[in-house]
Amino acid sequence: MDSEVVIIGAGVIGLAVANKIAKMRHSVILLEKEPRYGCGASSRNTEVIHAGIYYQTPLKAKLCVEGKELLYRHCERYGIRHMRIGKIILAVSKEEVPKLDLMKKQALNNGVRDLVELEKNDIKKMEPEIKGLAALYSPSSGIFDSHGFMESLFRQVKASGVIFAALSPFIGAEAVKGGWRVEVGGRDTTTIVCKMVINAAGLYSLELAGRVFPGR
């Protein structure tokens, strides 16, 4: 079997990458060792849409802020359950109040410009059961249905012509002229020749990277 691209792992990253590459009119085989997509770490997250307040790494902050809005738009377009519920970052002691100022400066550096400073009375009005001296309110923090999100990606992947191979664990890959020879397990061992291998195996990515050989 031949394909231009083989992607290992059908979690949220593997699905998103497969969808993007397939839309560029490349043939893609998406390997997954489990019986369906999204059975690993992608199905065990907090389902929080982060505003991008805390990150001190510029690229991570940039991707979080941009990705937040892209994710909200995707949820709206495909009818995925989500809510911009907001988040209160609370200072309960005098010692913690200056930390809010530092946090706001970091947020501004990251491109998060919608934080609202709350005083004691503001906090009481917003959340009567919370006691604090000051707070920051992040209106763009939210939650979403990660399973619904992956389902929407999977539908696009199938519509784009990606071959989804469940119960097909990656055994190893070896460089050959013009690409890679990929060995796949499962009911029967199969060999795929492709131009590119993408490792999106999540927690198993380092282990599987050790099974990729540059050739002889």
Does the structure show a pLDDT above 80 at 69?
yes
| Residue corresponding to tokens 């059961």 | 129
Average pLDDT of span 170-186: 95
Banded pLDDT at 189 (limits 50, 70, 90): very high
The per-residue pLDDT for range 191-214, each reduced to its tens digit, is 999 999 999 999 999 999 999 987
Long-range contacts of 116-122 (CB under 8 A, 24+ apart): 118/88
SS3 call for 181: strand
- Cβ atoms 197, 215 nearer than 8 A: no
What pTM, to 2 d.p., does this model score?
0.90
- 2-40: per-residue pLDDT in tens? 899 999 999 999 999 999 999 999 999 999 999 999 999
Return the SS3 of 72.
helix
Residue in 181, 185, 151 with CA at minimum distance from that of residue 166: 185
Is it the case that residue 216 has pLDDT exceeding 60? no
Confidence of residue 135 (pLDDT cuts 50, 70, 90): very high
Is the separation of the CB atoms in 195 and 178 below 8 Å?
yes
The per-residue pLDDT for 34 is 97
| Mean of pLDDT values over 175-188 | 93
Summarize the confidence of residues 110-138 as an average pLDDT.
96
Quote the CA–CA distance of 130 and 183 in Å, as a whole number: 56
pLDDT of 52 over the 90 cut: yes
Name the nearest CA neighbour of 36 among 127, 163, 213, 165: 165
Q: Which amino acid makes up residue 136?
A: L
